[in-house]
Structure 1
Amino acid sequence: MAEMTVELVAVERRLWSGKASFVLARTTEGEIGILPGHEFTLAQLEEAGVVRIDPIDSASLTVAVHGGFLSVTPAGVSILAEFAELAEEIDVSRARAALDRADTSDAEGAAAHKRAEVRLQAAESASAGQ
């Protein structure tokens, strides 16, 4: 099976690194699926989106990612996020409360609403896969 090195790093910590067969991410230009041997790519991640990594030796990882960049080179894939949370780390009740509190009448509230939605989406997709 073909594989590539993937590294997922947020400002405050490294979340995951290892060999993977596939990465799925949402950029400002749309969704991108990356397989080993993908062409050079540099893309800005959507302000709030879900990233899926299919490691070679374990179950898929689902991550809520907020801002950052995705870089694809022959050496592998680097996902550099402003903030990221592994799905199993997400406190679902806290994310639901944030979604309920978000005031979508301004840009800041709309962004908070979208971040809460993405956190819930990541948590739900990870629990559905188990």
Structure 2
Amino acid sequence: MKTMQVNVVTPDGSVYDGEVNMVSVKTTEGELGILPNHLPLVTPLSIGPVRIKKDSQVQLVAVNGGFMEVRRDEVNILAESAELPSDIDEARARAAKERAQRRLDEAKKDNIDFSRAELALKRAINRLEVVGGK
């Protein structure tokens, strides 16, 4: 089976680097799957898990926005932040989700920044999905 190089990079450094068979991402327009020999593409990413398939194994990476550049046999994900499941503290992510949910509930009655609370909630849910604690 053909492979392609996938790199997930944040301002803090490389999070993932390897040869894979397929990568699936959540773009601002919806889900997108990339296979080797894909047409060139640049697209903005949403908050969501990136699924990286190598042979029969699937590796998840929690990506919190950014861009994806696709070349013939190379995919570069330039993420605002990204975490592997082993780097995610599930208890901390659950606490962040609960805190963000409370802020959203309070935003309806107070002048709390609704979009900031909503983004925090999406990031927490993304982390929990990646560690399997949904």
| Shorter-chain TM-score above 0.5 | yes
Say whether the 8 Å CA contact 2:37–2:73 is kept in structure 1: no
Deviations 1:14-72 (A, max 9, x none): 011111000010000110001101111110000x111011135x832101111110010
Gaps of 5+ in 2: 108-113
Say whether the 8 Å CA contact 1:49–1:65 is kept in structure 2: yes
Give the match for residue 84 of structure 1: 82
Shift of 1:75: 4.1
CA distance in 1, matches of 2:58, 2:12: 22
Count of residue pairs brought into register by the alignment: 123
Q: How much identity, in percent, do the aligned residues show?
A: 42
Deviations 1:78-97 (A, max 9, x none): 01101000012111100000
CA RMSD after TM alignment:
1.4
Say whether the 8 Å CA contact 1:18–1:55 is kept in structure 2: no
Question: 88, 94, 119: which one pairs with 1:111?
Answer: 119
The 5 A counterparts of 1:1-130 are: 1-46=1-46, 48-56=47-55, 59-102=57-100, 103-104=103-104, 105=107, 106-124=114-132
Say whether the 8 Å CA contact 2:51–2:58 is kept in structure 1: yes
Letter in structure 2 aligned against 1:25: V
Shift of 1:10: 1.0
CA distance in 1, matches of 2:14, 2:57: 19
Say whether the 8 Å CA contact 2:23–2:34 is kept in structure 1: yes
CA distance in 2, matches of 1:61, 1:2: 18
Say whether the 8 Å CA contact 2:3–2:73 is kept in structure 1: no
Larger Rg: 2
Give 3-state SS (helix, strand or coil) of 1:6's partner.
Answer: strand
Shift of 1:118: 0.5
Say whether the 8 Å CA contact 1:42–1:72 is kept in structure 2: yes
Say whether the 8 Å CA contact 1:7–1:16 is kept in structure 2: yes
Q: Give the TM-score, by structure 1 length.
A: 0.89
